[in-house]
Amino acid sequence: MANERSTRRHKALRAEFRQECKTRGAECHLCSQPIDYSLPRDHPEAFENDHYFPVSTHPELIDDPANFRPSHKGCNASRGNDAVAPSLGSPSEVW
């Protein structure tokens, strides 16, 4: 299967999601800390679009905004492809 992570549609969806999070002042869904949306993309505390269901196990959800979660780049990186731990709260937020 082709990797669709870099398709134009996905980029547009991610940009839209980031803008939405920025407007809402959305917090990181992994550590519940605020995200500074003005940080450069390569900063460890910069915004990164996480997928609640990892793309590795749910490739069909890569373009599904309902599967998007705001996160810090560093938090997302340390999470890796693990499922979100139950102790971090339920995925009750509906987009």
Nearer to Zn ion, 19 or 78 (CB): 78
Question: What is the closest distance, in whole angstroms, from the C-beta atom of residue 3 to Zn ion in the complex?
Answer: 25
CB 49 within 8 A of CB 70: yes
- Please give the residue ranges that form the binding site for Zn ion (CB under 5 A): 28, 30-31, 72, 75
Q: Rounded to an integer, what distance in angstroms lies between the CA atom of residue 22 and that of residue 64? A: 19
User: Contact at 8 Å (CB) between 78 and 88?
Assistant: no
Q: Which residue is nearest to Zn ion (CB)?
A: 28
**CB of 48 or CB of 53, closer to Zn ion:** 48
Q: Which two tokens stand for residue 63?
A: 């373009």
The backbone torsions φ and ψ at residue 7, rounded to the nearest 5 degrees and listed phi first, read -65, 155
Which one, 20 or 63, has the nearer CB to Zn ion? Answer: 20
CA–CA separation, 14 vs 49, rounded Å?
Answer: 7
- The minimum distance between CB 67 and Zn ion, in angstroms, equals 18
CB of 70 to Zn ion, least distance (A): 9
